[in-house]
Amino acid sequence: MTPAAASRIAVVTGASSGIGAATARQLAAEGYRVVLTARRKDRIEALAEEITTAGGQATAYTLDVTDRTAVDEFASAFKTIGVLVNNAGGALGADPIATGDPAQWRQMYETNVIGTLNITQALLPALTASGDGTVVVLSSTAGHGTYEGGGGYVAAKHAEHVLAETLRLEIVGTPVRVIEVAPGMVKTEEFALTRFGGDSDKAAKVYAGVAQPLTADDVAETITWAVTRPSHVNIDLLVVRPRAQASNTKIHREL
Ligand SMILES: NC(=O)c1ccc[n+]([C@@H]2O[C@H](COP(=O)([O-])OP(=O)(O)OC[C@H]3O[C@@H](n4cnc5c(N)ncnc54)[C@H](OP(=O)(O)O)[C@@H]3O)[C@@H](O)[C@H]2O)c1
């Protein structure tokens, strides 16, 4: 494979739903050969087929980003890749510090932080070998400020932000750039449902009265724009929120 073709391969983690799936669709539309990864095989296989039918190039690979052995095996298939989108992640619970569940905190750290660390470490040689690599870290506005009940998720997303900032410092001078995208409120099908253990009433309250939360497509467009800037342009950090959200705690609701 030529270096130019290699730099057109984009690995997206958490591509089975929400922002990851939308990003995979949009990168494929931009001409990237997308590699879709997530734990739910049926969903990524269906998306790969959808993209292929639409004329794009996509393959699916079932992967849990917290499983380092599996991540290393996955990465060994690539000598060079152009883009890694670290999207797999999410929140569990919204309890105050006083009563938060340490197991949920641990799981959020494992998925958002160690998952991103695992796959970034494993693919960094291939990203460097492409001569033009891009690492995207999907943090959150929760990585830049806190809110009541957000403790465990906020802590994990702050750590993801620090991972991105530190990596950018450490690899400067190599042909790899590090882009952090930090969205505010995004209404995806599963994020809030997962957070509240499938409780749809609690999940609906997250978005109650908010005229237009961001959509997965809005964030995917932001990611795709940042990734498709010329190689020498590094979008360090992009914070994107809906107009109705001025901060993590100041949200306009029409109730
Ligand atoms: N929605 C928001 O308001 C919002 C705001 C800011 C940032 N974010 C961040 O954006 C990212 C995507 O969020 P979303 O709203 O699109 O949520 P989502 O629809 O729940 O998507 C989460 C994705 O992560 C994958 N995933 C979870 N654990 C995994 C693991 N151990 N290994 C591999 N994949 C795993 C899931 O796939 P499988 O279950 O199939 O593995 C799923 O595809 C997350 O990092 C989230 O923290 C979301």
Please choose from 11, 13, 19, 113 the residue to mutate so as to test ligand 1's pocket, defined by most ligand atoms within 8 A of CB: 19
Range from 7-11, 103-107, 219-223, 250-254 carrying the lowest mean pLDDT: 7-11
The tokens describing 128, both together, are 């460097």
d(Cα 43, Cα 107) in Å, to the nearest integer?
A: 22
* Structure confidence by residue, pLDDT tens digits, 157-205: 999 999 999 999 999 999 999 999 999 999 999 999 999 999 999 999 9
- Identify the band that residue 230 occupies on the pLDDT scale cut at 50, 70 and 90: very high
Q: pLDDT value at position 247? A: 98
- Between CA 120 and CA 75 the distance in angstroms is 10
pLDDT tens, position by position, 101-122:
999 999 999 999 999 999 999 9
How far, in Å, from the CA of 87 to the mean position of ligand 1?
6
What mean pLDDT value characterizes the chain? 97
The model's pLDDT over 77-100, given as tens digits with 9 standing for 90+, comes to: 999 999 999 999 999 999 999 999
pLDDT recorded at residue 4: 74
Closest ligand 1 atom to residue 153 Cα is: 47
Which residue numbers are catalytic? 153
**Closest residue by CA, ligand 1 atom 45:** 89
DSSP 141: G
φ/ψ (deg, to 5) at 33: -85, 110
pLDDT score at 45: 98
Which tens digit of pLDDT belongs to each residue from 49-71? 999 999 999 999 999 999 999 99
Find out whether the beta carbon of 140 lies less than 6 Å from any atom of ligand 1: yes
State whether the beta carbon of 107 lies less than 6 angstroms from ligand 1: no
Question: What is the CATH number that goes with domain 5-240?
Answer: 3.40.50.720
* Cα→Cα distances 104→78, 151, 194, 199, Å: 33, 11, 12, 16
Element (H, E) at 50: helix 41-53
User: Does residue 20 register a pLDDT over 70?
Assistant: yes
Residue 6 is predicted with a pLDDT of 67
Q: Is the CB of 40 under 6 A from ligand 1?
A: yes
pTM of the model: 0.98
CA distance 236 to 19: 19
Amino acid 110: pLDDT: 98
Pocket of ligand 1 contains residue 90 by CB under 6 Å: yes
pLDDT of amino acid 5: 73
